[in-house]
């Protein structure tokens, strides 16, 4: 995959950082996108340690102009976009749905759903001009089954499933491959923060995982890179759980 180019949103930590570093180890140049500047630059340094080139683009994915800018800056730096890990997201406040404020609902939908849709629109425009590309969207087990205290988050992750299937069907003949992953509870900073606020909820989820452990970002990165790197060309429109068996029950 030498000289291939990937965009990774939410690349400052967690799944995004793990995927960026894994892609870099395979010779892929990476545009790291995050709202947090410090963690984003840390990921860039980790990518460069793998021998790949990298840039950081600070962006609020709720804003279409920021999303278009990270796409434009990637093309300016590297000339193309071959892969897109559409990953930026937040978990939400961890409260029963009616206890959420309108502002909290709007924040989750803005980042998780609108941000993902904007990213798809602008990245697809580039990929269609260049004759194809591969995209992986981050859904969740909460995009497949009902889970308590994640109402708005669940709505966005079900939406990710729907847009993944739709775009896969619309653009398959034009060389675009689109899949989604549905991670279970994984050892990321987002989950650590949620766990502090909702320890009983997370422990009940942990007890329901057949493997009785949380996932690791590196395990998710292996799946994402397999879907992105051309080894899985005939997998298209799939939504793949990676959850220790949680949704198999």
Angle between helices 151-171 and 102-109 (to 10 degrees): 30
Is 153 annotated as catalytic?
yes
Note whether 23 and 83 are within 8 A (CB): yes
Task: Give the three-state DSSP class for 22.
Answer: helix
Nearest to 245 by CA among 218, 219, 195, 208: 208
Contacting residues for 37 by C-beta, under 8 A, at least 6 apart: 56, 58
Exactly one of 70, 118, 122, 153 is catalytic; name it.
153
* 243: Cβ contacts below 8 Å, ≥ 6 apart: 141, 182, 183, 184, 185, 209, 215
Nearest to 184 by CA among 210, 164, 222: 210
- CA gap 188, 87 in Å, rounded: 13
Does residue 135 contact residue 179 with C-beta atoms inside 8 Å?
Answer: yes
Mind telling me the catalytic residues? Answer: 153
């Amino acid at each position: 995959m030498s000289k291939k180019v990937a965009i990774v949103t939410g690349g400052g930590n967690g799944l995004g950082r793990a995927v960026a570093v894994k892609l870099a180890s395979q010779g892929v140049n990476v545009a790291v996108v995050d709202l947090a500047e410090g963690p984003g630059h840390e990921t860039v340094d980790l990518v460069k340690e793998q021998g790949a080139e990298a840039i950081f683009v600070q962006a609020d994915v709720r804003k279409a102009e920021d999303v278009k800018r990270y796409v434009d800056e990637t093309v300016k730096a590297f000339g193309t976009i071959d892969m897109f890990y559409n990953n930026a997201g937040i978990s939400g406040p961890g409260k029963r749905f009616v206890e959420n404020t309108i502002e909290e609902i709007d924040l989750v939908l803005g980042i998780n759903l609108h941000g993902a849709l904007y990213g798809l629109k602008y990245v697809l425009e580039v990929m269609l001009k260049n004759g194809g590309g591969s995209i992986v969207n981050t859904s969740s087990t909460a995009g497949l089954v009902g889970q308590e205290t994640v109402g708005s988050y669940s709505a966005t992750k079900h939406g990710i499933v729907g847009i993944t299937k739709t775009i896969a069907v619309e653009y398959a003949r034009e060389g675009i491959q689109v899949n989604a992953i549905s991670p279970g509870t994984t050892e990321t900073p987002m989950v650590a923060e949620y766990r502090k606020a909702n320890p009983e909820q997370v422990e009940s989820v942990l007890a329901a995982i057949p493997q009785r452990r949380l996932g690791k970002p590196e395990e998710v990165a292996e799946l994402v890179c397999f879907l992105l790197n051309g080894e899985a060309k005939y997998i298209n429109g799939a939504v793949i759980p990676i959850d220790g068996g949680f949704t198999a029950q």
